[in-house]
Amino acid sequence: MLPSVNEPYRFVEQSLFSLLHKCRLSDHLFQIQSQIIIHGLLQSRRLAPKSAIAFFESSNPQSARQLFDQILQPDTVLWNVMFKGSAEAGLHRETLLLFTQMKRRDVRPNLFTFPFVIKSCSMIPARMAGDQVHCFALKTGLRSNLFVGTSLIEMYAIKVGAGLAYKMFEDMPERNVVVWTAIIRAYIAVGDMKNAFNLFNQLEEHDVIVWGTMISAFIEHGDIATAEELFASMPVRDVQSWNTMLFGYANVDFIGACERFFAIMPVKNVFSWNGLIQGHARHAWCSRLGEMDPFVF
């Protein structure tokens, strides 16, 4: 059988795709992009997203946008790459402008679209933009998706507080531990430990992350005793859980408790040692501060 006309292009496309995957230097990236243009593969649905990702990873969002503007009919995958890259680069207004363009072109978003757009809504002072994205998620039937719903809870918690975030939480037909953790964090963020703890206790199945979230919150609010009780009641503790308590003792200058806790840790990693060192450094600083002449300032 004779090879098809497209086979050489597929081989070149695969070769360039592999090069993009390995590329770490901007100069090499531009050379690969030149080859993509020379071989007439600029509109490739495989290479365009990969090129944009490579530009973002090399801290060059401007080139990613220039590439995107040359694509005649960007698909949802490429749009999502642009949303993710722009949001992670802190270009939140750019992300929302891109989302507006996507709607005008009548490109249908998917469940990976909204979290990055919603994140950008959270980071700029524009409540209306967040509400518009919420409405659009409703129209596309994706608001009840756990991935999208969690992002909306986090957005409302940041922009308007826990009240509206809880309404969003209540309206979700399905709620997993990630969603519960998001609403618990919303109450923690506004200092409402009572409601955060009530929600924590209502949750039937806890994972390590929600345990750590609650323990860290009590530590940050100076309630070491409750943090210790929670830690003791954990059915499974990983090294991160142990480190959470260790840093709690270190941050409140309980150097004795910090040392005793470090000694009984079943597993230690570099963060454990950092916690112990931080505890000693803070204790030395606090002791020195206490010895200073109060009128020296």
User: Domains plus CATH for the chain?
Assistant: 206-291 (1.25.40)
Q: What is the pLDDT of residue 292?
A: 41
**243 neighbors 279 (Cβ within 8 angstroms):** no
pLDDT in tens, 229-285: 999 999 989 998 999 889 888 887 788 888 999 999 999 999 999 989 988 887 776
Lowest-pLDDT range of 103-117, 142-156, 205-219, 246-260: 142-156
pTM for this entry: 0.67
Nearest to 168 by CA among 263, 178, 185, 179: 179
Q: What is the mean pLDDT of residues 114-122?
A: 86
The phi-psi region of residue 211 (left if phi > 0; otherwise alpha if psi is between -120 and 50; otherwise beta) is alpha
- The model's confidence at residue 161, banded by pLDDT at 50, 70 and 90, is confident
Nearest to 68 by CA among 59, 79, 58: 79
Count of residues in the chain: 297
Distance of alpha carbon 272 from the chain centroid: 24
Encoded tokens for 246:
């260790």
